[in-house]
Structure 1
Amino acid sequence: MQSLDTTQRFLFEHADVRGEMTALDQSYREILAKHDYPEPVRALLGEMLAAAVLLSTTIKFDGLLVLQARSNGPLSTLMVECSSSQQVRGIARYADDLEGDCLAELMPDGVLAITIDPEQGQRYQGIVSLEGGSLAEALNSYFENSEQLPTRFRLLADGRLARGFLLQALPADRQKDPEQRALTWEHLNVLADTLTPEELLALDNAVLLHRLFHEEDLRLFDTRPVSFHCSCSSERSGQALVSLGRHDAFQLLEEQGGSVEVDCQFCNNRYRFGSAELEALFSDSEEHARSLN
Protein backbone atom coordinates (compact mmCIF):
# COMPACT_ATOMS: atom_id res chain seq x y z
CA MET A 1 0.00 0.00 0.00
CA GLN A 2 1.25 3.47 -0.83
CA SER A 3 2.51 5.37 2.20
CA LEU A 4 1.33 8.84 1.20
CA ASP A 5 -2.21 10.15 0.85
CA THR A 6 -2.83 10.38 -2.88
CA THR A 7 -5.31 10.41 -5.69
CA GLN A 8 -4.34 9.03 -9.09
CA ARG A 9 -6.06 9.09 -12.46
CA PHE A 10 -5.98 6.39 -15.14
CA LEU A 11 -7.33 6.34 -18.68
CA PHE A 12 -8.32 3.57 -21.08
CA GLU A 13 -6.50 4.24 -24.34
CA HIS A 14 -9.10 2.64 -26.61
CA ALA A 15 -12.30 3.46 -24.74
CA ASP A 16 -14.02 6.63 -23.58
CA VAL A 17 -13.64 5.78 -19.91
CA ARG A 18 -11.41 7.19 -17.20
CA GLY A 19 -10.81 6.14 -13.61
CA GLU A 20 -9.54 7.52 -10.32
CA MET A 21 -8.12 5.84 -7.23
CA THR A 22 -7.89 7.62 -3.89
CA ALA A 23 -6.12 6.60 -0.69
CA LEU A 24 -6.39 8.49 2.60
CA ASP A 25 -4.08 7.44 5.38
CA GLN A 26 -2.53 10.23 7.48
CA SER A 27 -5.22 12.76 6.54
CA TYR A 28 -7.96 10.32 7.63
CA ARG A 29 -6.20 9.63 10.94
CA GLU A 30 -5.72 13.34 11.61
CA ILE A 31 -9.44 13.98 11.13
CA LEU A 32 -10.42 11.05 13.37
CA ALA A 33 -7.95 12.18 16.05
CA LYS A 34 -9.97 15.38 16.55
CA HIS A 35 -13.04 13.47 17.80
CA ASP A 36 -13.72 10.17 19.57
CA TYR A 37 -16.12 8.69 17.03
CA PRO A 38 -17.66 5.21 17.36
CA GLU A 39 -16.35 2.66 14.86
CA PRO A 40 -19.33 2.74 12.44
CA VAL A 41 -19.12 6.54 12.29
CA ARG A 42 -15.37 6.41 11.67
CA ALA A 43 -15.94 4.07 8.74
CA LEU A 44 -18.74 6.10 7.13
CA LEU A 45 -16.80 9.34 7.56
CA GLY A 46 -13.84 7.71 5.82
CA GLU A 47 -16.06 6.69 2.90
CA MET A 48 -17.37 10.26 2.69
CA LEU A 49 -13.83 11.63 2.62
CA ALA A 50 -12.81 9.26 -0.18
CA ALA A 51 -15.99 10.09 -2.11
CA ALA A 52 -15.36 13.83 -1.81
CA VAL A 53 -11.83 13.48 -3.17
CA LEU A 54 -13.06 11.36 -6.10
CA LEU A 55 -15.80 13.86 -6.88
CA SER A 56 -13.37 16.78 -6.72
CA THR A 57 -11.32 15.15 -9.48
CA THR A 58 -14.34 14.79 -11.80
CA ILE A 59 -15.10 18.52 -11.87
CA LYS A 60 -12.91 21.29 -13.25
CA PHE A 61 -13.24 24.10 -10.71
CA ASP A 62 -11.29 26.24 -8.25
CA GLY A 63 -13.07 26.27 -4.93
CA LEU A 64 -14.72 23.90 -2.52
CA LEU A 65 -16.77 20.72 -2.84
CA VAL A 66 -19.02 19.88 0.11
CA LEU A 67 -20.69 16.53 0.78
CA GLN A 68 -23.33 16.67 3.51
CA ALA A 69 -25.54 13.77 4.58
CA ARG A 70 -28.43 14.41 6.98
CA SER A 71 -31.03 12.19 8.60
CA ASN A 72 -33.31 11.91 11.61
CA GLY A 73 -31.57 8.69 12.61
CA PRO A 74 -28.85 8.03 15.20
CA LEU A 75 -26.24 9.57 12.87
CA SER A 76 -27.73 12.97 12.11
CA THR A 77 -24.92 14.57 10.10
CA LEU A 78 -21.87 13.68 8.07
CA MET A 79 -20.11 16.61 6.45
CA VAL A 80 -16.94 16.60 4.39
CA GLU A 81 -15.22 19.41 2.51
CA CYS A 82 -12.62 18.93 -0.22
CA SER A 83 -10.90 21.77 -2.04
CA SER A 84 -9.94 21.69 -5.71
CA SER A 85 -6.37 21.03 -4.49
CA GLN A 86 -7.61 17.97 -2.52
CA GLN A 87 -7.35 19.41 0.98
CA VAL A 88 -9.97 17.72 3.14
CA ARG A 89 -11.70 18.04 6.49
CA GLY A 90 -14.78 16.33 7.93
CA ILE A 91 -17.12 16.06 10.89
CA ALA A 92 -19.95 13.86 12.19
CA ARG A 93 -22.86 14.44 14.57
CA TYR A 94 -24.54 11.48 16.25
CA ALA A 95 -26.71 10.49 19.22
CA ASP A 96 -25.05 9.47 22.48
CA ASP A 97 -26.94 6.16 22.40
CA LEU A 98 -25.99 5.45 18.79
CA GLU A 99 -26.90 1.97 17.59
CA GLY A 100 -26.45 0.40 14.18
CA ASP A 101 -23.64 -0.61 11.88
CA CYS A 102 -24.66 0.27 8.32
CA LEU A 103 -25.83 3.37 6.48
CA ALA A 104 -29.48 2.25 6.39
CA GLU A 105 -29.54 1.78 10.17
CA LEU A 106 -27.57 4.90 11.07
CA MET A 107 -29.12 7.32 8.58
CA PRO A 108 -32.62 6.05 7.68
CA ASP A 109 -34.50 8.22 5.16
CA GLY A 110 -31.40 10.37 4.83
CA VAL A 111 -30.45 12.74 2.03
CA LEU A 112 -27.07 13.61 0.56
CA ALA A 113 -26.32 17.10 -0.74
CA ILE A 114 -23.43 17.63 -3.16
CA THR A 115 -22.43 21.29 -3.30
CA ILE A 116 -19.89 22.96 -5.58
CA ASP A 117 -18.83 26.37 -4.25
CA PRO A 118 -16.44 27.86 -6.83
CA GLU A 119 -14.23 30.86 -6.13
CA GLN A 120 -15.82 32.46 -9.18
CA GLY A 121 -19.19 31.73 -10.66
CA GLN A 122 -22.44 30.33 -9.33
CA ARG A 123 -22.86 27.86 -6.50
CA TYR A 124 -24.39 24.53 -7.53
CA GLN A 125 -26.11 21.89 -5.42
CA GLY A 126 -27.51 18.45 -6.20
CA ILE A 127 -29.49 16.33 -3.73
CA VAL A 128 -29.97 12.56 -3.69
CA SER A 129 -31.76 10.21 -1.34
CA LEU A 130 -29.49 7.95 0.71
CA GLU A 131 -31.10 4.83 -0.66
CA GLY A 132 -29.34 1.53 -1.14
CA GLY A 133 -27.00 -0.29 1.15
CA SER A 134 -24.06 2.10 0.97
CA LEU A 135 -22.86 5.60 0.23
CA ALA A 136 -21.36 4.32 -3.04
CA GLU A 137 -24.78 3.05 -4.15
CA ALA A 138 -26.38 6.40 -3.34
CA LEU A 139 -23.75 8.21 -5.43
CA ASN A 140 -24.17 5.73 -8.26
CA SER A 141 -27.92 6.44 -8.24
CA TYR A 142 -27.29 10.18 -8.29
CA PHE A 143 -25.26 9.92 -11.49
CA GLU A 144 -27.66 7.43 -13.06
CA ASN A 145 -30.66 9.71 -12.46
CA SER A 146 -28.99 12.97 -13.45
CA GLU A 147 -27.73 14.24 -16.77
CA GLN A 148 -24.13 13.68 -15.67
CA LEU A 149 -21.73 11.23 -17.28
CA PRO A 150 -22.25 7.59 -16.14
CA THR A 151 -20.11 7.09 -13.03
CA ARG A 152 -19.54 4.19 -10.64
CA PHE A 153 -18.09 4.46 -7.14
CA ARG A 154 -16.51 1.89 -4.84
CA LEU A 155 -15.73 3.11 -1.32
CA LEU A 156 -14.21 1.44 1.72
CA ALA A 157 -12.87 2.60 5.09
CA ASP A 158 -11.95 0.67 8.21
CA GLY A 159 -11.20 3.43 10.73
CA ARG A 160 -7.53 3.53 9.74
CA LEU A 161 -7.45 3.68 5.96
CA ALA A 162 -10.00 5.00 3.46
CA ARG A 163 -9.97 4.13 -0.22
CA GLY A 164 -12.07 5.06 -3.19
CA PHE A 165 -12.25 3.74 -6.76
CA LEU A 166 -14.15 5.40 -9.59
CA LEU A 167 -14.96 4.65 -13.21
CA GLN A 168 -16.50 7.37 -15.36
CA ALA A 169 -17.67 7.37 -18.96
CA LEU A 170 -16.32 10.22 -21.10
CA PRO A 171 -17.92 12.04 -24.06
CA ALA A 172 -17.73 10.06 -27.30
CA ASP A 173 -14.30 10.31 -28.89
CA ARG A 174 -12.54 6.98 -29.36
CA GLN A 175 -15.78 5.02 -29.74
CA LYS A 176 -18.50 6.76 -31.72
CA ASP A 177 -21.00 3.90 -31.87
CA PRO A 178 -23.42 4.12 -28.89
CA GLU A 179 -23.92 0.35 -28.72
CA GLN A 180 -20.18 -0.31 -28.64
CA ARG A 181 -19.72 2.36 -25.97
CA ALA A 182 -22.42 0.74 -23.83
CA LEU A 183 -20.86 -2.70 -24.20
CA THR A 184 -17.42 -1.38 -23.25
CA TRP A 185 -18.82 0.43 -20.22
CA GLU A 186 -20.60 -2.73 -19.06
CA HIS A 187 -17.50 -4.88 -19.65
CA LEU A 188 -15.20 -2.60 -17.64
CA ASN A 189 -17.68 -2.42 -14.78
CA VAL A 190 -18.00 -6.21 -14.69
CA LEU A 191 -14.22 -6.42 -14.33
CA ALA A 192 -14.22 -3.68 -11.65
CA ASP A 193 -16.91 -5.54 -9.72
CA THR A 194 -14.45 -8.38 -9.12
CA LEU A 195 -12.45 -6.04 -6.86
CA THR A 196 -12.61 -7.37 -3.30
CA PRO A 197 -12.50 -5.21 -0.14
CA GLU A 198 -9.19 -6.84 0.80
CA GLU A 199 -7.66 -5.92 -2.57
CA LEU A 200 -8.95 -2.37 -2.42
CA LEU A 201 -7.35 -1.81 0.98
CA ALA A 202 -4.13 -3.74 0.49
CA LEU A 203 -2.94 -3.35 -3.11
CA ASP A 204 -1.09 -0.38 -4.53
CA ASN A 205 -2.61 1.25 -7.58
CA ALA A 206 -0.45 -0.31 -10.29
CA VAL A 207 -0.93 -3.84 -8.97
CA LEU A 208 -4.66 -3.29 -8.48
CA LEU A 209 -5.14 -2.03 -12.05
CA HIS A 210 -3.11 -4.90 -13.48
CA ARG A 211 -5.21 -7.42 -11.56
CA LEU A 212 -8.48 -5.88 -12.83
CA PHE A 213 -7.62 -4.77 -16.35
CA HIS A 214 -4.49 -6.67 -17.45
CA GLU A 215 -5.94 -7.17 -20.94
CA GLU A 216 -6.73 -3.48 -21.39
CA ASP A 217 -4.42 -0.73 -22.63
CA LEU A 218 -4.16 1.73 -19.73
CA ARG A 219 -2.38 4.99 -19.06
CA LEU A 220 -1.63 5.73 -15.39
CA PHE A 221 -1.03 9.37 -14.50
CA ASP A 222 1.14 10.77 -11.72
CA THR A 223 -0.25 10.83 -8.19
CA ARG A 224 -1.47 14.03 -6.61
CA PRO A 225 -1.30 14.62 -2.85
CA VAL A 226 -4.31 14.62 -0.53
CA SER A 227 -3.98 16.31 2.86
CA PHE A 228 -5.95 17.31 5.90
CA HIS A 229 -6.41 21.07 6.20
CA CYS A 230 -8.84 23.04 8.32
CA SER A 231 -9.70 26.47 6.97
CA CYS A 232 -10.62 27.91 10.37
CA SER A 233 -8.69 30.95 11.59
CA SER A 234 -8.83 33.70 14.17
CA GLU A 235 -9.98 36.08 11.43
CA ARG A 236 -12.90 33.87 10.40
CA SER A 237 -13.91 33.32 14.01
CA GLY A 238 -13.80 37.06 14.58
CA GLN A 239 -16.04 37.65 11.58
CA ALA A 240 -18.55 35.20 13.04
CA LEU A 241 -18.69 37.40 16.17
CA VAL A 242 -19.05 40.55 14.07
CA SER A 243 -22.02 38.98 12.29
CA LEU A 244 -23.81 38.85 15.66
CA GLY A 245 -23.81 42.63 15.85
CA ARG A 246 -22.02 44.89 18.33
CA HIS A 247 -24.70 44.78 21.05
CA ASP A 248 -25.11 40.98 21.07
CA ALA A 249 -21.38 40.31 20.82
CA PHE A 250 -20.53 42.50 23.80
CA GLN A 251 -23.45 41.10 25.75
CA LEU A 252 -22.03 37.63 25.10
CA LEU A 253 -18.63 38.88 26.26
CA GLU A 254 -20.17 40.05 29.54
CA GLU A 255 -22.09 36.80 30.04
CA GLN A 256 -18.90 34.77 29.56
CA GLY A 257 -16.91 36.77 32.09
CA GLY A 258 -14.92 39.05 29.80
CA SER A 259 -13.71 36.50 27.22
CA VAL A 260 -15.57 35.02 24.26
CA GLU A 261 -14.42 31.65 22.96
CA VAL A 262 -15.16 30.37 19.45
CA ASP A 263 -14.48 26.69 18.81
CA CYS A 264 -13.97 25.12 15.38
CA GLN A 265 -16.25 22.10 15.11
CA PHE A 266 -13.94 20.44 12.58
CA CYS A 267 -10.55 20.58 14.31
CA ASN A 268 -11.40 21.69 17.88
CA ASN A 269 -9.15 24.74 17.69
CA ARG A 270 -10.29 27.44 20.11
CA TYR A 271 -10.10 31.17 19.44
CA ARG A 272 -10.42 33.57 22.39
CA PHE A 273 -11.45 37.22 22.16
CA GLY A 274 -11.28 39.73 25.00
CA SER A 275 -12.82 43.20 25.16
CA ALA A 276 -9.91 44.87 23.32
CA GLU A 277 -9.89 42.27 20.52
CA LEU A 278 -13.66 42.50 20.12
CA GLU A 279 -13.56 46.29 19.96
CA ALA A 280 -10.83 46.12 17.31
CA LEU A 281 -12.93 43.71 15.25
CA PHE A 282 -15.93 46.02 15.21
CA SER A 283 -13.80 49.12 14.61
CA ASP A 284 -12.20 47.48 11.57
CA SER A 285 -15.60 46.31 10.30
CA GLU A 286 -17.17 49.73 10.71
CA GLU A 287 -14.17 51.41 9.05
CA HIS A 288 -14.46 49.04 6.11
CA ALA A 289 -18.20 49.75 5.80
CA ARG A 290 -17.55 53.53 5.75
CA SER A 291 -14.92 53.14 3.02
CA LEU A 292 -17.49 51.44 0.79
CA ASN A 293 -20.00 54.32 1.11
Structure 2
Amino acid sequence: MASQDITQRFLFENADVRGEMVSADQSYREILAKHAYPEPVKALLGEMLAAAVLLSTTIKFDGLLVLQAKSEGPVSTLMVECSSDQAVRGIARYADDLQGCGLNELMPGGVLAITIDPDNGQRYQGIVSLEGGSLAAALDGYFANSEQLPTRFRLQADGRMARGFLLQALPVDRQPDREERAATWEHLNVLADTLSAEELIGLDNETLLHRLFHQDPLRLFDARPVRFECSCSAERSGNALVSLGKPDVLELLREQGGEIEVDCQFCNARYRYDESAVEALFNAADEHARQLH
Protein backbone atom coordinates (compact mmCIF):
# COMPACT_ATOMS: atom_id res chain seq x y z
CA MET A 1 0.00 0.00 0.00
CA ALA A 2 1.36 3.41 -0.98
CA SER A 3 2.31 5.72 1.88
CA GLN A 4 -0.51 8.16 2.57
CA ASP A 5 -2.14 10.30 5.21
CA ILE A 6 -5.87 10.39 4.63
CA THR A 7 -9.23 9.71 6.18
CA GLN A 8 -12.02 8.52 3.90
CA ARG A 9 -15.71 7.97 4.53
CA PHE A 10 -18.02 5.38 2.98
CA LEU A 11 -21.77 4.97 3.19
CA PHE A 12 -23.89 1.88 2.52
CA GLU A 13 -26.56 2.62 -0.08
CA ASN A 14 -29.25 0.34 1.37
CA ALA A 15 -28.46 0.51 5.08
CA ASP A 16 -28.26 3.06 7.89
CA VAL A 17 -24.55 2.44 8.40
CA ARG A 18 -21.49 4.49 7.56
CA GLY A 19 -17.80 3.76 7.79
CA GLU A 20 -14.48 5.56 7.96
CA MET A 21 -10.92 4.51 7.17
CA VAL A 22 -7.80 6.36 8.24
CA SER A 23 -4.24 5.91 7.04
CA ALA A 24 -1.51 7.79 8.89
CA ASP A 25 2.03 7.24 7.64
CA GLN A 26 4.10 10.41 7.40
CA SER A 27 2.21 12.11 10.24
CA TYR A 28 2.73 9.01 12.43
CA ARG A 29 6.44 8.90 11.61
CA GLU A 30 6.82 12.62 12.36
CA ILE A 31 5.29 12.09 15.79
CA LEU A 32 7.63 9.15 16.45
CA ALA A 33 10.69 11.04 15.17
CA LYS A 34 10.47 13.51 18.05
CA HIS A 35 11.12 10.81 20.69
CA ALA A 36 12.98 7.49 20.94
CA TYR A 37 9.97 5.34 21.87
CA PRO A 38 10.27 1.58 22.41
CA GLU A 39 8.45 -0.55 19.82
CA PRO A 40 5.45 -1.44 22.07
CA VAL A 41 4.92 2.25 22.83
CA LYS A 42 5.13 3.12 19.13
CA ALA A 43 2.40 0.61 18.39
CA LEU A 44 0.05 1.89 21.11
CA LEU A 45 0.64 5.51 20.14
CA GLY A 46 -0.11 4.67 16.50
CA GLU A 47 -3.40 3.07 17.49
CA MET A 48 -4.24 6.17 19.55
CA LEU A 49 -3.47 8.33 16.51
CA ALA A 50 -5.77 6.33 14.24
CA ALA A 51 -8.49 6.30 16.90
CA ALA A 52 -8.33 10.06 17.45
CA VAL A 53 -8.73 10.76 13.73
CA LEU A 54 -11.65 8.32 13.49
CA LEU A 55 -13.33 9.94 16.49
CA SER A 56 -12.86 13.40 15.01
CA THR A 57 -14.90 12.29 11.98
CA THR A 58 -17.83 11.03 14.10
CA ILE A 59 -18.45 14.37 15.80
CA LYS A 60 -19.45 17.66 14.17
CA PHE A 61 -17.31 20.34 15.81
CA ASP A 62 -14.77 23.06 15.11
CA GLY A 63 -11.92 22.82 17.56
CA LEU A 64 -9.80 20.14 19.14
CA LEU A 65 -10.35 16.52 20.12
CA VAL A 66 -8.01 15.11 22.76
CA LEU A 67 -7.72 11.35 23.31
CA GLN A 68 -5.77 10.57 26.49
CA ALA A 69 -5.08 7.28 28.26
CA LYS A 70 -3.56 7.13 31.75
CA SER A 71 -2.48 4.24 33.98
CA GLU A 72 -0.24 3.31 36.88
CA GLY A 73 1.48 0.72 34.65
CA PRO A 74 4.70 0.87 32.59
CA VAL A 75 3.06 3.33 30.17
CA SER A 76 1.65 6.14 32.27
CA THR A 77 0.31 8.39 29.49
CA LEU A 78 -0.68 8.26 25.85
CA MET A 79 -2.15 11.39 24.32
CA VAL A 80 -3.12 12.42 20.80
CA GLU A 81 -4.68 15.71 19.80
CA CYS A 82 -6.64 15.95 16.54
CA SER A 83 -8.19 19.13 15.21
CA SER A 84 -11.49 19.21 13.34
CA ASP A 85 -9.49 19.45 10.10
CA GLN A 86 -7.34 16.43 11.08
CA ALA A 87 -4.10 18.11 12.15
CA VAL A 88 -2.53 15.75 14.69
CA ARG A 89 0.19 15.57 17.31
CA GLY A 90 0.87 13.04 20.05
CA ILE A 91 3.07 12.00 22.96
CA ALA A 92 3.70 9.07 25.32
CA ARG A 93 5.17 8.78 28.81
CA TYR A 94 6.60 5.46 29.99
CA ALA A 95 8.94 3.86 32.53
CA ASP A 96 12.64 3.66 31.72
CA ASP A 97 12.65 -0.07 32.47
CA LEU A 98 9.65 -0.75 30.25
CA GLN A 99 8.75 -4.42 29.90
CA GLY A 100 5.80 -6.19 28.30
CA CYS A 101 3.64 -5.46 25.31
CA GLY A 102 -0.01 -4.88 24.58
CA LEU A 103 -2.53 -2.77 26.42
CA ASN A 104 -3.16 -5.16 29.32
CA GLU A 105 0.52 -5.38 30.29
CA LEU A 106 1.52 -1.79 29.57
CA MET A 107 -1.54 0.08 30.90
CA PRO A 108 -3.27 -2.19 33.45
CA GLY A 109 -6.27 -0.61 35.14
CA GLY A 110 -6.03 2.41 32.88
CA VAL A 111 -8.70 4.91 31.89
CA LEU A 112 -9.36 6.63 28.58
CA ALA A 113 -10.64 10.20 28.35
CA ILE A 114 -12.19 11.65 25.20
CA THR A 115 -12.31 15.44 25.36
CA ILE A 116 -13.95 17.78 22.84
CA ASP A 117 -12.71 21.37 23.17
CA PRO A 118 -14.71 23.42 20.63
CA ASP A 119 -13.71 26.86 19.43
CA ASN A 120 -17.16 28.02 20.52
CA GLY A 121 -19.27 26.32 23.14
CA GLN A 122 -18.72 24.17 26.19
CA ARG A 123 -16.00 21.61 26.67
CA TYR A 124 -17.15 18.00 26.89
CA GLN A 125 -15.38 14.94 28.28
CA GLY A 126 -16.26 11.25 28.38
CA ILE A 127 -14.26 8.67 30.35
CA VAL A 128 -14.12 4.89 29.96
CA SER A 129 -12.00 2.12 31.49
CA LEU A 130 -9.30 0.58 29.29
CA GLU A 131 -10.96 -2.82 29.23
CA GLY A 132 -11.26 -5.56 26.65
CA GLY A 133 -7.57 -6.03 25.95
CA SER A 134 -7.24 -3.37 23.26
CA LEU A 135 -7.88 0.30 22.62
CA ALA A 136 -10.42 -0.65 19.94
CA ALA A 137 -12.36 -2.80 22.42
CA ALA A 138 -12.35 0.02 25.00
CA LEU A 139 -13.76 2.43 22.43
CA ASP A 140 -16.39 -0.10 21.38
CA GLY A 141 -17.41 -0.32 25.02
CA TYR A 142 -17.53 3.47 25.39
CA PHE A 143 -20.03 3.81 22.55
CA ALA A 144 -22.04 0.80 23.73
CA ASN A 145 -22.40 2.22 27.26
CA SER A 146 -22.88 5.90 26.47
CA GLU A 147 -26.21 5.64 24.63
CA GLN A 148 -24.56 6.83 21.44
CA LEU A 149 -24.85 5.24 18.02
CA PRO A 150 -23.44 1.67 17.91
CA THR A 151 -19.84 1.91 16.69
CA ARG A 152 -17.07 -0.61 16.03
CA PHE A 153 -13.34 0.13 15.76
CA ARG A 154 -10.38 -1.71 14.24
CA LEU A 155 -6.92 -0.26 14.91
CA GLN A 156 -3.45 -1.34 13.82
CA ALA A 157 0.03 0.23 13.95
CA ASP A 158 3.52 -1.16 13.43
CA GLY A 159 5.90 1.76 14.02
CA ARG A 160 5.75 2.85 10.38
CA MET A 161 2.07 2.92 9.47
CA ALA A 162 -1.06 3.48 11.53
CA ARG A 163 -4.46 2.34 10.29
CA GLY A 164 -8.00 2.63 11.58
CA PHE A 165 -11.35 1.28 10.42
CA LEU A 166 -14.76 2.22 11.81
CA LEU A 167 -18.35 1.13 11.29
CA GLN A 168 -21.13 3.22 12.82
CA ALA A 169 -24.91 2.83 12.82
CA LEU A 170 -26.80 5.92 11.66
CA PRO A 171 -30.19 7.33 12.72
CA VAL A 172 -33.19 5.65 11.11
CA ASP A 173 -33.55 6.53 7.44
CA ARG A 174 -33.26 3.75 4.85
CA GLN A 175 -34.28 0.92 7.19
CA PRO A 176 -37.22 1.84 9.45
CA ASP A 177 -37.77 -1.78 10.51
CA ARG A 178 -35.90 -2.43 13.77
CA GLU A 179 -35.24 -6.11 13.14
CA GLU A 180 -33.97 -5.42 9.64
CA ARG A 181 -31.63 -2.73 10.96
CA ALA A 182 -30.27 -5.08 13.63
CA ALA A 183 -29.75 -7.88 11.11
CA THR A 184 -27.90 -5.56 8.73
CA TRP A 185 -25.66 -4.23 11.52
CA GLU A 186 -24.78 -7.77 12.57
CA HIS A 187 -24.16 -8.83 8.95
CA LEU A 188 -21.77 -5.94 8.26
CA ASN A 189 -19.91 -6.48 11.52
CA VAL A 190 -19.46 -10.19 10.80
CA LEU A 191 -17.88 -9.25 7.48
CA ALA A 192 -15.70 -6.57 9.08
CA ASP A 193 -14.46 -9.08 11.65
CA THR A 194 -12.87 -11.11 8.84
CA LEU A 195 -10.43 -8.27 8.16
CA SER A 196 -6.93 -9.35 9.16
CA ALA A 197 -4.27 -7.06 10.62
CA GLU A 198 -2.16 -7.61 7.50
CA GLU A 199 -5.03 -6.56 5.25
CA LEU A 200 -5.81 -3.48 7.32
CA ILE A 201 -2.19 -2.37 7.07
CA GLY A 202 -1.51 -3.51 3.52
CA LEU A 203 -4.61 -2.90 1.37
CA ASP A 204 -5.68 0.37 -0.21
CA ASN A 205 -9.16 1.56 0.72
CA GLU A 206 -10.97 0.52 -2.46
CA THR A 207 -9.46 -2.96 -2.39
CA LEU A 208 -10.22 -3.33 1.31
CA LEU A 209 -13.87 -2.37 0.86
CA HIS A 210 -14.28 -4.70 -2.11
CA ARG A 211 -12.70 -7.50 -0.09
CA LEU A 212 -15.21 -7.02 2.73
CA PHE A 213 -18.41 -5.71 1.19
CA HIS A 214 -18.47 -6.56 -2.54
CA GLN A 215 -22.10 -7.72 -2.22
CA ASP A 216 -23.24 -4.64 -0.30
CA PRO A 217 -23.56 -1.49 -2.45
CA LEU A 218 -21.73 1.46 -0.94
CA ARG A 219 -20.46 4.90 -1.86
CA LEU A 220 -16.85 5.91 -1.18
CA PHE A 221 -16.34 9.63 -0.60
CA ASP A 222 -13.32 11.73 -1.46
CA ALA A 223 -10.37 11.39 0.90
CA ARG A 224 -9.44 14.21 3.27
CA PRO A 225 -5.84 14.85 4.32
CA VAL A 226 -4.35 14.04 7.73
CA ARG A 227 -1.20 15.92 8.73
CA PHE A 228 1.19 16.36 11.62
CA GLU A 229 1.10 19.88 13.04
CA CYS A 230 2.24 21.09 16.42
CA SER A 231 0.34 24.05 17.81
CA CYS A 232 3.22 25.31 19.94
CA SER A 233 4.66 28.75 19.16
CA ALA A 234 6.83 31.48 20.62
CA GLU A 235 3.65 33.46 21.31
CA ARG A 236 2.05 30.64 23.31
CA SER A 237 5.23 30.01 25.26
CA GLY A 238 5.48 33.71 26.01
CA ASN A 239 1.86 33.84 27.16
CA ALA A 240 2.56 30.91 29.49
CA LEU A 241 5.40 32.86 31.09
CA VAL A 242 3.30 36.02 31.41
CA SER A 243 0.61 34.00 33.19
CA LEU A 244 3.15 33.21 35.94
CA GLY A 245 3.55 36.89 36.81
CA LYS A 246 6.60 39.09 36.38
CA PRO A 247 8.16 38.60 39.85
CA ASP A 248 8.13 34.83 39.50
CA VAL A 249 9.49 34.95 35.95
CA LEU A 250 12.33 37.29 36.95
CA GLU A 251 13.18 34.96 39.85
CA LEU A 252 13.15 32.00 37.44
CA LEU A 253 15.39 33.96 35.10
CA ARG A 254 17.94 34.44 37.89
CA GLU A 255 17.74 30.77 38.87
CA GLN A 256 18.31 29.70 35.26
CA GLY A 257 21.42 31.85 34.81
CA GLY A 258 19.88 34.60 32.72
CA GLU A 259 17.93 32.54 30.18
CA ILE A 260 14.65 30.64 30.44
CA GLU A 261 14.04 27.70 28.14
CA VAL A 262 10.49 26.56 27.38
CA ASP A 263 10.34 23.17 25.66
CA CYS A 264 7.37 21.72 23.76
CA GLN A 265 6.78 18.17 24.97
CA PHE A 266 5.17 17.21 21.66
CA CYS A 267 7.71 18.34 19.05
CA ASN A 268 10.78 19.20 21.17
CA ALA A 269 10.83 22.78 19.91
CA ARG A 270 12.71 25.03 22.32
CA TYR A 271 11.94 28.68 22.99
CA ARG A 272 14.50 30.82 24.81
CA TYR A 273 13.92 34.06 26.72
CA ASP A 274 16.66 36.28 28.13
CA GLU A 275 16.07 39.35 30.29
CA SER A 276 15.33 41.66 27.35
CA ALA A 277 12.87 39.13 25.87
CA VAL A 278 11.11 38.80 29.23
CA GLU A 279 10.82 42.58 29.55
CA ALA A 280 9.38 42.73 26.03
CA LEU A 281 6.80 40.07 26.90
CA PHE A 282 5.51 41.94 29.93
CA ASN A 283 5.60 45.34 28.20
CA ALA A 284 3.46 43.90 25.41
CA ALA A 285 1.08 42.36 27.95
CA ASP A 286 0.76 45.69 29.78
CA GLU A 287 0.08 47.53 26.51
CA HIS A 288 -2.58 45.01 25.56
CA ALA A 289 -4.25 45.41 28.97
CA ARG A 290 -4.29 49.23 28.57
CA GLN A 291 -5.93 48.92 25.14
CA LEU A 292 -8.67 46.73 26.55
CA HIS A 293 -9.47 49.41 29.14
Q: Normalising to structure 2: TM-score of the pair?
A: 0.99
Aligned residue in 1 for 2:247: 247
Q: Secondary structure at the match of 2:36?
A: coil
How far apart are 1:291 and its partner, in Å? 2.8
Question: How many residue pairs were aligned?
Answer: 293
Counterparts of 1:78 and 1:202 in 2: how far apart (Å)?
Answer: 25
Aligned residue in 1 for 2:35: 35
Counterparts of 2:276 and 2:154 in 1: how far apart (Å)?
Answer: 52
Counterparts of 1:102 and 1:162 in 2: how far apart (Å)?
Answer: 16
1:1-30 Cα deviation digits (max 9, x unpaired): 133210100000000000000001011001
2:55 aligned partner, one-letter code: L
1:176-228 Cα deviation digits (max 9, x unpaired): 01111111001000000000001001000000000000000010001111000
Counterparts of 1:198 and 1:257 in 2: how far apart (Å)?
Answer: 53
Aligned residue in 2 for 1:97: 97
Residue 73 (structure 2) pairs with residue 83 (structure 1): no
Counterparts of 1:202 and 1:68 in 2: how far apart (Å)?
Answer: 27
2:85 aligned partner, one-letter code: S
How far apart are 1:241 and its partner, in Å? 0.7
Counterparts of 1:2 and 1:60 in 2: how far apart (Å)?
Answer: 29
Aligned residue in 2 for 1:290: 290
Residue 194 (structure 2) pairs with residue 194 (structure 1): yes
Q: Which runs of 5+ in 1 are unaligned?
A: none
Residue 142 (structure 2) pairs with residue 139 (structure 1): no
Aligned residue in 2 for 1:172: 172
Counterparts of 2:270 and 2:154 in 1: how far apart (Å)?
Answer: 36
Aligned residue in 2 for 1:220: 220
1:72 aligned partner, one-letter code: E
2:97 aligned partner, one-letter code: D
Counterparts of 2:208 and 2:235 in 1: how far apart (Å)?
Answer: 44
Counterparts of 2:148 and 2:38 in 1: how far apart (Å)?
Answer: 35
1:166 aligned partner, one-letter code: L
Pairing of 1:40-189 with structure 2 (within 5 A): 40-189=40-189
Q: Which runs of 5+ in 2 are unaligned?
A: none
Counterparts of 2:150 and 2:132 in 1: how far apart (Å)?
Answer: 18
Aligned residue in 2 for 1:9: 9
Counterparts of 1:178 and 1:278 in 2: how far apart (Å)?
Answer: 64
Residue 275 (structure 2) pairs with residue 275 (structure 1): yes
Query: Percent identity over the alignment?
Result: 77
Q: Normalising to structure 1: TM-score of the pair?
A: 0.99
Counterparts of 2:156 and 2:101 in 1: how far apart (Å)?
Answer: 14
1:237 aligned partner, one-letter code: S
Q: Secondary structure at the match of 2:22?
A: strand
How far apart are 1:292 and its partner, in Å? 2.8
Counterparts of 2:133 and 2:255 in 1: how far apart (Å)?
Answer: 47
Counterparts of 2:276 and 2:179 in 1: how far apart (Å)?
Answer: 70
Q: Secondary structure at the match of 1:222?
A: coil
How far apart are 1:289 and its partner, in Å? 2.2
> RMSD of aligned C-alpha atoms?
0.7
Extract structure 1 runs of 4+ deviating beyond 6 A: none
How far apart are 1:280 and its partner, in Å? 1.0
